[in-house]
Chains A and B, each alone.
Chain A
Amino acid sequence: MALLIVYPAALSVFDTLTATSADGSTRFTLESYVTFFQLPDALPNLWFTLRITVVTVTILFALCFPIAYYLRFSTSQLSVPVRFLALFPMFVPGIVTAFALIRFLGDNGWIENILFSLTGWEGWVSPIAKPQGIVIGLVWEGVPVTVLVLTAGLSQVPNHLIESARDVGANGRQVFFRIIFPQIRRSVMIVLTLNFLGVFGAFTIPLLLGGASPQMYGHYMANRLYGIGQYTHAQTAAVIMFLISAAVGTLYVRSVVNQRMEKGE
């Protein structure tokens, strides 16, 4: 089944690496990559995409880890609404998210008007059509996956392990770093990887909440392909995006394999 995509993708990689000579024969060449990176915006957009991705993934983790931790260990009734809220963005299509955030955070949006009527403060700066807008939108969208995977990972830590650690006098920090953290390393890795892939390839949010330039790669590629009609460049951009995603994915898979080897299984 993977052949349905793997074959077209492989074909497309092949396409970017070859050119047809005047005599009709096919030869290997890196031409399309050379011309692609000669585009004035190809490299700046790539750095921009990577920067946004790293920032978003970091914020997502910093925001969601405490939430997941709380959901796992709290018995308070509050955990029900917290879980509820954390999962809610999953059910909101990207376009609705984008417009809701525009009307919430943008100029003359709710935040600005509430702040103004409460404090008289007029200094609100709209993050819309700026890099900050993309980050906020992508964090909003990414909360459910992050919380779900981290909570699932944390709930795999057996209570009896924590209890016995406490019985022998371990303090909170020791329990966390010696018992809990080693157990959820996999979940943390997987959430970082999945978030990286998701954010790196995002399209709708960067299109609607980001500025006209620089663009994130998902948006940039669509713009090249359908706005300007440059198939070759779009295809090259697709391969570059894939290679970066694959590198991150390899890091993940490798680390999981290595983990098993350390254990000597």
Chain B
Amino acid sequence: MRRIYFALPLLSVVLMIAVSGAVFARGASEAGSDERTVVDVMIASDTNIFDWYADHLKPLFEAANPEYELNLVHTGAEGAGGNGPIADRAYAALQTGNDPIVSYFETWNPLEPIGALDDGLWLEINEDNVPNISNAIDAVLAGSTGFDVPYRGSQVILAYNADRLLEILVERGEVAAGTTEVPEEFVPSTFPELMEWVQEFPGEFTYPRPDTTGAGRNFVTRAILQANDLNQDVFTVEAYAQRFGTGELSREDIDAINDEFYAGAWEMLNEIEPYLYDDGAYPSGAAAVTRLLTDEVITMITIWSDQALQAKSLGLLPPNTRFIQLADLPMVGGYASSAIPTNATNLEGALALANFLLSSDAQESVVRVIGGFPAVSWDTLPAELQEDFNDVITDDVPSFGGVWIGAAIEGWYTNVAPEIER
């Protein structure tokens, strides 16, 4: 019995040495075994975007550019920092003159980390280094700082459980029992109608917190646009930079932005708060809000269009789930933008990837696979695609500069989220 005390630690020590030796050896052999050069891509978006890269873009890109291999890294959920630590790391490498061991940030706002843009961390994008940027439409460029590659307008839609809505309507006597279709007047098609709908069906709608997923952020930015008479010219990067520069926003700036541009939206959102699910228990992240729909807790949520379509085709959503986009202006919070550090390990590869993302192939994938809006003009895309997506083709894709988001999140948390006494 006694011997075991010594046998066990000894055994584990031997095991530790063996396994750690194996790992070190593995790490060493991996480097330099492939002739292709690796492009390290940091992805911090929701899981649908990572899947899209892994299943579609990576094979497409590597076929078109056989000299490169993409190494995709998911750096975590939104709300948890995501690419932040890696951008910090690239900034540190710039300061020490080291190789940052990273080449491409799938989404990044080049105004962060504070000071990095002025110190030359982010590469200025122009037609010389990314030729395809010339294809980008004006609405896209308006939301860009010039140090990023805007390439996809993701779309957030409304998903609702039609059976559940019918049940409520029948119970209320609004429609006759046995009705199979929800009458049109009970389905919102514009933002004001949605606000009314929420109040008409208390506890049946919610949206997630804006910093945890685009499904919340795009809804909030849509409310902001609504409060500004759908005037998108207000929220360009240029307008922002002229007034607030590229540094950290001061308290006064944030207050000014909120008073001037966001106050109307907060009023609207506060007005519907008592009618939201659980009095405004805003879910954290896309998975948490989708659960409320799938487990039949509530009737309507905001959701990424591609996640919605995929979940529906796999039978993960309630059987009679329908999707709607607002007809007055879709819920698009601007274009997602990539950024490339000037000290990128594989700068050539990163630029090739950026150029590829704005190519016709990749832009078609944006439309077909993730149900987003292309960053290039529809005219440059295949005619077949235009026919297939005739319904969603719109020139009126809202533009909302990413730089405005920080103050919006701050404003939402201080003006909308404060706890109601429960």
Contact = CB atoms under 8 A, between A and B. Distances in A.
Interface of A: 35, 38-41, 95, 99, 102-103, 106-109, 126, 128-130, 203-204, 207-208, 210-214, 222-223, 225-232
A230 B248 contact: yes
A35 B254 CA distance: 13
B89 interface: no
B347 interface: no
Contact of A229 (B112, B280, B281, B295): B112
Interface in B252-289: 278, 280-285, 287-288
28 contacts: A41-B413, A102-B291, A103-B291, A103-B295, A107-B278, A107-B297, A126-B281, A129-B282, A129-B283, A129-B284, A210-B284, A212-B280, A212-B281, A213-B418, A214-B419, A222-B80, A223-B79, A223-B211, A226-B79, A226-B80, A226-B82, A226-B84, A227-B409, A228-B407, A228-B409, A228-B410, A229-B111, A230-B410
A39 B254 CA distance: 11
A35 B79 contact: no
B284 A207 contact: yes
B88 to A, nearest CB: 10
A107 B135 CA distance: 48
A229 B282 contact: no
B112 to A, nearest CB: 5
B296 A108 contact: yes
Interface string B60-92: 000000000000000001011110100000000
A102 B209 CA distance: 17
A208 B284 contact: yes
Contact of B281 (A108, A211, A225): A211
- A-B pairs, top 6 by smallest CB distance, nearest first, are A129-B281, A227-B211, A213-B417, A212-B417, A212-B282, A229-B406
A126 B80 CA distance: 24
A126 B278 contact: yes
A225 B81 contact: yes
Interface-centre pick from A41, A226, A231, A232 (highest chain B CB count, 10 A): A226
A227 B77 CA distance: 12
A215 to B, nearest CB: 8
A2 to B, nearest CB: 20
Contacts of A226: 79-82, 84, 211
Contacts of B131: none
Contacts of B77: 95
A229 B287 CA distance: 24
B243 interface: no
Contacts of A106: 291, 295, 297
Given A130-B422, A228-B407, A99 B413 contact: no
Contacts of A107: 278, 292, 295, 297
B81 A230 contact: no
B33 interface: no
Nearest to A35: B251
Contact of A102 (B112, B288, B409, B413): B288
A98 B296 CA distance: 19
Interface string B276-317: 001011111101100110011100000000000000000000
B249 A230 contact: yes
B19 interface: no
B80 A228 contact: no
B248 A40 contact: no
Given A108-B295, A213-B419, A222 B413 contact: no
A107 B292 CA distance: 8
A208 to B, nearest CB: 5
Given A99-B288, A208-B284, A228-B406, 19 more contacts: A35-B251, A99-B291, A106-B291, A106-B297, A107-B297, A204-B80, A207-B284, A210-B284, A211-B282, A211-B417, A211-B419, A212-B209, A213-B419, A227-B79, A227-B406, A227-B409, A228-B410, A229-B114, A231-B248
A207 B281 contact: no
B113 interface: yes
B414 interface: yes
Nearest to B251: A35
A108 B291 CA distance: 10
Nearest to A207: B284
Contacts of A227: 79, 211, 406, 409-410
Contacts of A102: 288, 291
Given A129-B283, A212-B209, A229 B248 contact: yes
Interface in B200-215: 209, 211-212
A34 to B, nearest CB: 11
Contacts of B278: 107, 126, 129
A99 B283 contact: no
B348 to A, nearest CB: 30
Contact of B113 (A204, A213, A231): A231
Contacts of A99: 287-288, 291
Contacts of A40: 414
Contacts of B281: 126, 128-130, 211-212
Nearest to B112: A229
Contacts of B413: 41, 212-213, 223
Contacts of A109: 295
A68 B148 CA distance: 56
A35 B82 CA distance: 27
